A and B are shown apart, each in its own frame.
Chain A
Amino acid sequence: MDESVISNTIEEIKLLAEKENIDISRELDDLKTKYASSKGDTWEKVQLARRIDRPNTLDYINLICDDFIELHGDRHYGDDPAMIGGIGTVDGMSVTFIGHQRGHNLKENIARNYGWAYPEGYRKALRLAKQAEKFNRPVVTFIDTAGAYPGLESEERGIGEAIAVNLKAFSVLRVPILCFVIGEGGSGGALGIGVGDKIYMLENSIYSVISPEGFASILLRDPQRAQEAADLMKVTAQDVKEFGIIHDIIPEAPGGAHTDPSFTATKIKERIITDLKRLASRNPGQLIRYRSKKIREIGHFNENNEQAQDLFKIFTKAFSRS
């Protein structure tokens, strides 16, 4: 919501309260503080999301799982260290974990290609998701990438196709999928493991169609204006939640997740446990229908057509057959 809209609304409520002779000044003050603190500074959040000491996928997996084994390779080309996956146990449940993997220092980051995955990374993710489906095991993904790797070999091996196939396959996977944006959710590279039943963002994570730097250089014609771009694009967890694109925000310790990784890990773990219990009551057809409905509803457009109809019904009908 626009800031001016909110302040106008507050003014309107104030006037109304005066007219009705009700004292709501304390409630209003609370509301204002809450709004200001929840909004925070966008660029600060971008920097928090990108901190080198911010907990990464393997950190969370180790904090959440009682045990975990990593599985490697896409069975076609190779193993991508920027995308990891495996099987873990959480509160007695077997869960498949998939996530982008960044490093905590230069050496690690070079080994992990800074979390920029190649096509084989996305194909490994797909293989593990399909494996999870076969064994009726839920999938949890951790999203933390600036994007898919924009390089020569990445194109040669079909990075576009790899992501596209994942979007399609994850949308009809017959087991629950929970997605957590833990740091930077950059573009198609993030979405490539980001289609699921529940989508969450950590309090100081960001999710965007292009990096603020990219937006600045293309639309503002000046890469130096990334800070301004981040504001314009509305990339924070709070923004994306307001758009109705994610289900909820996972709180971090004061100062950011890096100050107390286990705090956030515990919150994620709690969410995984409650969600999986809840989703267990849905059969595969229901899972896919709800998931598709949510994806289907994302969009912002105007239509005058009187015949505008509910295509969702068709979708529902088609998937009730499966």
Chain B
Amino acid sequence: MGSEFTLGLGRKKKKSALPEPFARLQDTVCRECQNLIPAAQLAKSLQVCPECGFHMPMHPYDRISTLVDEGSFEEFSQDLTSGNPISLTGYKEKLDQARGKSGINDAVVTGRGSIDGREAIFGIMSFQFLGGSMGSVVGEKITRAILAGAEEGSPVILVTASGGARMQEGIFSLMQMAKTSSAAALLDEAGIPLFIVLTHPTTGGVTASFAMLGDVAIAEPGALIGFAGQRVIEGTLKQKLPAGFQRAEFQQDQGFVDMVVPRENLRHTLSFLLQTHATENKGWMNR
């Protein structure tokens, strides 16, 4: 790949140190089993409930520190912030609140890092930031991450967590589905893998775009993955949904997920995928 176009995505910048992993964690009541789990225990279990195995939503920086080689992460487009495209009253305040609470500027953190020495482009969504909803910033950052992968020849790993499109940005949020999916088409063209890790919950416009376009789709156990919300479906059908509906295991049975991988094994699985898709392992024809 040529270098006549500079990406300006942080290559020249010093690698910034990630915040201390799990420093923000507090004692948490598991929303699946209602047990109170102390913060120290959650940090040790990578925020998997030790009582019921529920994989809780993680802060993107915590996720990154559990996945990438120490000191290898360079963040992209950190200062990208949302405008108010449909001039909706109260949206700016909502964003400020979410920023204050999460310490990030929008619902995704993207950047370059390595796993066991193999470089990849990462995009990690945050459900805690306005429900992980996709507006202009999420769409732009995911798109840039995918394009960076295509340009550099690095695999792209996207960890999803989202309630769907960000309604506060109206039609602009809907169009981010087209934008991210169109970028994914470029990876096909360039022969670069896209690995998707679906985490709890991944629904709506994110499911109906890049989240379902992985060459390999991994899901965390028990993650809710679907297009329509369960209450909406129940409203349509006027009946209760079966147990396990739209969960990771259901999606594997239906054929939409390649494998369900517990959090403690995720790094290993991704490392294997990076290894098997590395250029040096494409030499079977030369034997």
Contact = CB atoms under 8 A, between A and B. Distances in A.
Given A155-B246, A295-B178, A219 B168 contact: yes
Interface in B195-210: 204-205, 207-210
A2 B179 contact: no
B284 to A, nearest CB: 25
Given A209-B165, A232-B88, A245 B190 contact: no
B137 A171 contact: no
B275 interface: no
B86 to A, nearest CB: 5
B227 A188 contact: yes
A40 interface: no
A300 B82 contact: yes
Nearest to B87: A2
Contacts of A202: none
Given A243-B172, A301-B140, A152 B245 contact: yes
A154 B86 CA distance: 31
B150 A318 contact: yes
A157 B254 CA distance: 7
A309 B190 CA distance: 21
Interface of B: 2, 5-9, 12, 77, 79-88, 136-137, 139-140, 143-144, 147, 150-151, 165, 167-179, 181-186, 188-190, 204-205, 207-213, 226-229, 232-233, 236-237, 241, 245-246, 254-256
B188 to A, nearest CB: 8
B245 A305 contact: no
A239 B87 CA distance: 12
A160 B5 CA distance: 35
Contacts of B167: 209-210, 215, 218-219, 233
A171 B143 CA distance: 14
B227 A240 contact: no
Q: Which of A149, A165, A191, A209 has the most CB of B within 10 A?
A: A209
B212 A233 contact: no
B171 A207 contact: yes
Interface residues of A, number: 68
A314 interface: yes
B174 A208 contact: yes
Contact of B8 (A158, A234, A301, A305): A305
A159 B212 CA distance: 10
Nearest to A173: B185
A247 B206 CA distance: 25
Given A160-B256, A188-B174, A232-B86, 11 more contacts: A148-B227, A160-B212, A161-B212, A161-B256, A163-B208, A169-B185, A172-B182, A192-B208, A209-B174, A298-B139, A301-B81
Nearest to B166: A209
Nearest to A187: B174
A216 B23 CA distance: 37
Contact of A160 (B81, B140, B211): B211
B147 to A, nearest CB: 5
A168 B147 contact: no
A157 B170 CA distance: 28
A169 B213 CA distance: 11
Contacts of A299: 136-137, 139-140, 172, 175-176, 179
A135 to B, nearest CB: 21
A308 B254 CA distance: 42
A279 B18 CA distance: 49
A60 to B, nearest CB: 23
A164 B213 contact: yes
A76 B48 CA distance: 38
Given A168-B182, A210-B167, A311-B144, A300 B136 contact: yes
State the main secondary structure of chain B at its contact with A. Answer: helix
B5 A164 contact: no
A310 B175 CA distance: 20
B5 A314 contact: yes
A37 interface: no
B107 to A, nearest CB: 13
Interface string A197-240: 00000000001111000010011000000000000111100011
Interface in A123-160: 148-152, 154-160
A167 interface: yes
Q: Which of A155, A165, A322 has the most CB of B within 10 A?
A: A155
B186 A295 contact: no
A209 B81 CA distance: 21
B6 A309 contact: yes
A32 interface: no
B173 A209 contact: yes
A209 B170 contact: yes
A171 B147 contact: no
A195 B208 CA distance: 14
Closest 10 A-B residue pairs measured CB to CB? A307-B8, A150-B228, A167-B181, A300-B85, A171-B182, A160-B207, A299-B136, A160-B227, A164-B212, A209-B174
Contacts of B8: 305, 307-309
Contact of B189 (A208, A232, A319): A319
Nearest to B217: A161
A150 B87 CA distance: 29
Contacts of A309: 5-8
18 contacts: A148-B227, A148-B228, A152-B237, A152-B241, A160-B208, A160-B256, A161-B212, A168-B182, A191-B175, A195-B178, A209-B171, A233-B171, A234-B170, A245-B172, A291-B182, A301-B83, A307-B8, A311-B147
